[in-house]
Amino acid sequence: MHTLLLAPSSAQAEFQQRVALIVGNGTTAWLPSLILQTSAADLEEAFLRIAFEVSRVSNADRSDFLQALGAFEDRASEADIASFSMRVMVSRLTAAII
């Protein structure tokens, strides 16, 4: 999966509040979580380069995910630009928990 990030000029960026929430969840016997964590970390670096305030959540349970999402909603309501990205691998067993 490729993500294209476009940013306004640096003069515009100075006056914009940009926030992002990146979620990297998923551990299965056949796919190491490292793949999703690396993807989430790479995306976080890209957002930081274009002046986003980034929150990243890794392998969160339902409660932690909802807490992070609620905090992001609060920040996003005040921001000029908000982005949410979720890198998730769900197995049949974990799908029943959600």
Q: Higher model confidence: residue 97 or residue 86?
A: 86
Structural contact between residues 52 and 83, judged by C-beta atoms closer than 8 angstroms: yes
pLDDT band at 11 (very low <50, low <70, confident <90, very high): low
Domain locations along the chain: 17-97
Would the pTM count as exceeding 0.75? no
The DSSP string of the chain is ---------HHHHTT--EEEEEEEE---SSS-HHHHHHHHHHHHHHHHHTT-EEEEEES--HHHHHHHHHHHHHHHHH-SEEEEEEEE---HHHHHH-
Six-digit token pair at 86?
């979720």
pLDDT of residue 58: 86
Domain 17-97 has CATH 3.40.50: yes
pLDDT for res 1: 47
Q: What tens digit of pLDDT does each residue of 28-76 get? A: 555 555 666 678 888 999 999 999 999 999 888 889 999 999 999 999 9
